[in-house]
């Protein structure tokens, strides 16, 4: 269905010119503000955030670990972690190394660990469609059996449904 | 493993101050430039891109359809579509409505359609962790049986592996 151009003061365009990357985050994405995909991206859609999650899923918890892995400016990393804490993706905990001052570590919550599906999908897509000569950098495995795992769509009765048969029904 | 702070001229920080959102795209994310997740995000990680993919997976092909759904500035939408065409996620095709000038439509390639896993993961996460009172906006179904589907990790022998048993082995 072609709705034609709707009247839109070019707010998005102005943002790009005048507002920093950070401030863009709070802007709802798209006219469908109820869309769960857009709502996920409001938390996760900023540059670096998925890589913070990636590292957290691999066991990083300390600011310095994220910082050295990502090579990201400290103020940006602090902002990203604060957003993830704010939205319940990570929990901030105190720790103190012997003789050192108190610091904080960032631990994925249950909600954060569920992002393994999104990160796994980005990993698989990159491996398939933006491969390098060196091959994959990460392989997903069942920690119990050691077998490789991949993402699939399944029904409630655990039948696997091929990707090209999956449709998104728009409910409202 | 804590590597400590590495010396980083704050390039990322400077970008935030001085470079537009668009220009950020070409910057490699993180020090691990071979990481498939980072390489996926170089194509997909810009604001709006996943919502363009979402709409394309729901059948949108025309510039005006994306534009009215997203309420995005035209120049931004054109940039996002150009990036997706450049990286083989979409194909640009000509069409001409009766009496109108030639226009272009944007159709997902096989590579683009595989992003249903990533978009499905963002949808499920948003439904679970950023729900609204109105409930889900989209429900994923098997087009053949009509059954609801969800994402799962499976082994080569099609055994389902719980999310908390999935580990990312870092290969190099």
ipTM exceeds 0.95, yes or no: no
Q: Can you tell me the mean pLDDT for B114-118?
A: 97
A163:B117 CB<8 A: yes
Q: How high is the pLDDT of residue B33?
A: 63
Instruction: Using a pLDDT cut of 90, give the percent of chain A over it.
Output: 70
* C-alpha pair distances (Å), A12 with each of A5, B22, B71, B77: 15, 12, 8, 10
What pLDDT digit, counting tens, does each position of A149-164 carry?
Answer: 999 999 999 999 999 9
Q: Which residue has the tokens 């409202």?
A: A172
CATH T-level fold of B33-165: Arc Repressor Mutant, subunit A (1.10.10)
Q: How high is the pLDDT of residue B84?
A: 98
Q: Where are the domains of chain B?
A: 33-165
pLDDT at B7 over 70: no
Closest Cα partner for B67 from A6, A27, A32? A6
CB pairs under 8 A between A and B: 395
CB B22 within 8 A of CB A62: no
Q: How high is the pLDDT of residue B32?
A: 62
Task: Tell me the nearest-neighbour CA distance from B134 into chain A, angstroms.
Answer: 8
Q: Can you tell me the mean pLDDT for A17-44?
A: 60
Q: Which residues, at least 6 apart from A82, have a Cβ–Cβ distance to it below 8 Å?
A: none
Task: Tell me the nearest-neighbour CA distance from B110 into chain A, angstroms.
Answer: 9
pLDDT at B6 over 80: no
Reported residue count of chain B is 172
Helix (H, G, I), strand (E, B) or coil at A51: helix
Q: How confident is the model at residue A137 (pLDDT cuts 50, 70, 90)?
A: confident
B71:A31 CB<8 A: yes
At B119, list the tokens.
């978009």
Q: Please state, in angstroms and rounded to a whole number, the distance separating the CA atoms of residues A60 and B2.
A: 9
Nearest to B163 among A16, A114, A164 (CB): A114
- Interchain contact B87–A (C-beta under 8 A): yes
Q: How confident is the model at residue B137 (pLDDT cuts 50, 70, 90)?
A: confident
- Interchain contact B69–A (C-beta under 8 A): yes
What pLDDT digit, counting tens, does each position of A111-120 carry?
Answer: 999 999 999 9
Q: Please state, in angstroms and rounded to a whole number, the distance separating the CA atoms of residues B99 and B80.
A: 28
Which of A6-10, B83-87, B134-138, B163-167 has the largest mean confidence?
Answer: B83-87
pLDDT at A107 over 90: yes
In B, which residues are within 8 Å of A54 by CB distance?
A: 35, 37, 168
Q: How high is the pLDDT of residue B79?
A: 97
- Interchain contact B96–A (C-beta under 8 A): no
- Interchain contact A40–B (C-beta under 8 A): yes
More confident residue, B20 or A40: A40
Q: Provide the H-helix boundaries in chain A.
A: 11-18, 21-24, 36-44, 49-57, 63-70, 74-86, 110-113, 116-129
CATH T-level fold of A46-165: Arc Repressor Mutant, subunit A (1.10.10)
What pLDDT digit, counting tens, does each position of A59-105 carry?
Answer: 999 999 999 999 999 999 999 999 999 999 999 999 998 999 999 99
What pLDDT digit, counting tens, does each position of B38-96 carry?
Answer: 999 999 999 899 999 999 998 999 999 999 999 999 999 999 999 999 999 999 999 99
Query: Lowest-confidence range among A103-107, B25-29, B137-141, B148-152?
Result: B25-29
């Amino acid at each position: 269905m072609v709705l034609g151009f709707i009247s839109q003061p070019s707010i998005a365009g102005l943002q790009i010119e005048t507002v920093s990357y950070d401030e863009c985050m709070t802007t709802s994405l798209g006219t469908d503000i109820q869309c769960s995909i857009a709502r996920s991206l409001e938390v996760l859609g900023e540059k670096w955030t998925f890589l913070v999650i990636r590292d957290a899923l691999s066991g990083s918890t300390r600011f310095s670990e994220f910082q050295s892995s990502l090579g990201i400016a400290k103020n940006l990393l602090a902002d990203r972690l604060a957003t993830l804490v704010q939205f319940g993706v990570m929990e901030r905990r105190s720790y103190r190394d012997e003789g050192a001052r108190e610091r904080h570590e960032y631990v994925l919550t249950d909600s954060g660990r569920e992002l393994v599906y999104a990160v796994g999908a980005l990993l698989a897509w990159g491996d398939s469609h933006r491969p390098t000569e060196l091959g994959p950098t990460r392989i997903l495995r069942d920690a119990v059996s050691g077998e490789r795992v991949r993402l699939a769509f399944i029904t409630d009765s655990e039948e696997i449904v091929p990707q090209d048969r999956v449709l998104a029904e728009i409910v409202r």
